[in-house]
Amino acid sequence: MLSLIIFFPALAAMLGFLIEEKSIKVYGVCIAFIELLLTLFMWFGFDARQVGFSLVTQIPLVEFLNINYFVGVDGISLFLVVLSAFMTLIGLMSLSEKGNLKHLVISILFLEMTMAGVFLALDAVLFYIFWELSLLPMLYIIGAWGSGNRIYAAIKFFIYTFFGSIFMLVGMLAMAYLSYKANGNWSFSLIDWQNLSLPLKTQIWLFLAFFIAFAVKTPMFPFHTWLPYAHGQAPTIGSVLLAAVLLKMGTYGFVRFSLPMFPDASVELFDTVAILAVIMVIYTALIAYAQDDMKQVIAYSSISHMGIIVLGIFAMNAEGISGAIFLMISHGIVSGALFLLVGVIYERRHTKMIAEFGGLASVMPKYALIFCIVMLGSIGLPLTIGFVGEFLSLAGIFKTNALYAVLGGIGIIVGAIYMLNLFRKVFYGVCDKEENLALKDLNLTELTTLVPLCLLVLYLGVSPNLILKPIDFSVRYMVEKMQKKASERETVWFINDANRVGEQR
């Protein structure tokens, strides 16, 4: 089942070469739709009360190093896979690029495979393969269909992420070697690694090796500079997938690798990470306020939100981590929708500058309404999807350390300021530009892609339990495991403290 989810898009992409240009978009949409159905089947086949991974498949690949094709799903990865299938579908439906559409659709389908692969892999080598493979389609998408300085942006994106992941590869080999020393056989299985106990010093080094890879991908301050470029130049669908899914690979890595494998190191380095995350939240929020390009505003706001996700993850309690994972999903939906909305206006006016617009609400009322709902979701208004995740993440970090929570909260306030400011400048005021008066409102294709996103923003904001329950279950199990595994006393206390409810330290 999981193998089908991973390889179906790739198979379809290869067959896609046979298809003529004019039908390729329908083909892409059909394939993405089927893939979404498959992931939904996976969701129904998933037993939420099962501890550990379900739907596991294991086939040996390289015997003497014990590298396996090993996939499985739990509450943490389940919704990320569904999200990536869903956003791919939405992205393909909204596709409006002209020229060489065939290759674009095919690379997106390949990208879909790698995204599913990263989230479902339970073998480190497999994880690494998909992680690296995900760069190639993205490089091509940004480099070939981007705008402006696209080749520079694509290369920068590639080199940054590749550079980071090299450290991860070293870390992985070290882990495999350590497990060889401990158990007498090489192992790349994440489950084995999570059971391996290591001395503090080794843990810190390995933690750092993995941390760099994930931090670049997330992207954390000070490795974030590739993201605005990549977003700025990428075509709409590239930005959507980049923001909605690819960034989540980094934070997913924190949850899957860093915390359960190196609990002591995570506690030891908690302050460093948290400070970086806080800087990331506030600093990028301020930058976002100063931007005059709509896409850049959203790109920087993404970084800011990712900061809150990192804070939530390193709160090391169930609330924080589940909140962070929920925020990953909600941010995926919201930022994807925002990029689509910008894409809509860019296609009509061929500019994304805020100063070019004003008073659009009177010309494009439907557009303004949808933009408003999504924007409110982005700033985390209660009863929208953004609120749940942000609230839980900050509540989690508040229990661990109140100061960081306050600082993170400031980021949200600034977030409200820049988003509302953007909205004011673009949609209110007098519509005085002549080109803007002639703008057409959303057409049917755009409505079919955007309305489902809006409904999700509202629905999951009102009843988040649908997806929060399975996430929470898996996270609690993981935290428990972390606590058991921790070798240093302080770590145990720390995690205990973080998870205690309603008591003073």
Q: Write out the residues near another protein by the rule CB under 8 A.
A: 4, 8, 11-12, 15-16, 18-20, 22-24, 26-27, 30-31, 34
Smallest gap from Cβ 38 to another protein, in A, equals 9
Smallest gap from Cβ 112 to another protein, in A, equals 14
- Other CB atoms closer than 10 Å to residue 223's CB: what's the count? 21
Tell me the residue type at 199.
P
**DSSP letter (8 states) at residue 22:** G
Angle at 262 between CA 316 and CA 267, to 5 degrees: 45
Smallest gap from Cβ 83 to another protein, in A, equals 23
Up-side HSE of residue 489: CA atoms within 13 Å toward CB? 0
Q: Output phi, psi for 103, to 5 deg.
A: -70, -35
Smallest gap from Cβ 24 to another protein, in A, equals 8
- Whichever of 34 and 395 has its CB closer to another protein, that residue is 34
Please answer whether residues 427 and 360 qualify as being in contact, where contact means their C-beta atoms are separated by less than 8 angstroms: yes
Which token pair is 384?
């929208």
Dihedral sign for Cα 93, 94, 96, 97, please: negative
- Whichever of 88 and 161 has its CB closer to another protein, that residue is 88
- Whichever of 117 and 336 has its CB closer to another protein, that residue is 117
- Whichever of 11 and 438 has its CB closer to another protein, that residue is 11
Smallest gap from Cβ 91 to another protein, in A, equals 19
**68: three-class secondary structure by DSSP:** strand
- Whichever of 27 and 314 has its CB closer to another protein, that residue is 27
Closest CA to 90 of 136, 162, 33: 33
- Whichever of 8 and 145 has its CB closer to another protein, that residue is 8
Dihedral sign for Cα 248, 254, 255, 261, please: positive
Residue 286, judged by CB atoms within 10 A of its CB (0-12, 13-18, 19+), counts as middle
Smallest gap from Cβ 12 to another protein, in A, equals 6
Please answer whether residues 354 and 288 qualify as being in contact, where contact means their C-beta atoms are separated by less than 8 angstroms: no
The 3 state secondary structure assigned to 361-385 is: HHHCHHHHHHHHHHHHHHHCCCCCH
- Whichever of 105 and 457 has its CB closer to another protein, that residue is 105
- Whichever of 26 and 410 has its CB closer to another protein, that residue is 26
User: Does 452 sit behind a cis peptide bond, omega within 30 degrees of 0 on the bond before it?
Assistant: no
Dihedral sign for Cα 441, 444, 446, 447, please: positive
- Whichever of 9 and 415 has its CB closer to another protein, that residue is 9
- Other CB atoms closer than 10 Å to residue 109's CB: what's the count? 26
Smallest gap from Cβ 43 to another protein, in A, equals 18
Smallest gap from Cβ 62 to another protein, in A, equals 24
Smallest gap from Cβ 21 to another protein, in A, equals 9
Smallest gap from Cβ 50 to another protein, in A, equals 20
- Whichever of 22 and 440 has its CB closer to another protein, that residue is 22
Cα distance between residue 315 and residue 270, in whole Å: 9
Q: Output phi, psi for 220, to 5 deg.
A: -90, 150
Angle at 36 between CA 94 and CA 255, to 5 degrees: 100
- Whichever of 46 and 152 has its CB closer to another protein, that residue is 46
- Whichever of 17 and 177 has its CB closer to another protein, that residue is 17
Tell me the β-bridge partners of 58.
70
Q: Count the residues in the chain.
A: 505
Please answer whether residues 327 and 389 qualify as being in contact, where contact means their C-beta atoms are separated by less than 8 angstroms: yes
User: Does 222 sit behind a cis peptide bond, omega within 30 degrees of 0 on the bond before it?
Assistant: yes
Smallest gap from Cβ 117 to another protein, in A, equals 18
The 3 state secondary structure assigned to 97-140 is: CCCCHHHHHHHHHHHHHHHHHHHHECEHHHHHHHHHHCHHHHHH
- Other CB atoms closer than 10 Å to residue 300's CB: what's the count? 25
- Whichever of 8 and 221 has its CB closer to another protein, that residue is 8
Please answer whether residues 120 and 40 qualify as being in contact, where contact means their C-beta atoms are separated by less than 8 angstroms: no
Smallest gap from Cβ 54 to another protein, in A, equals 17
Smallest gap from Cβ 3 to another protein, in A, equals 9
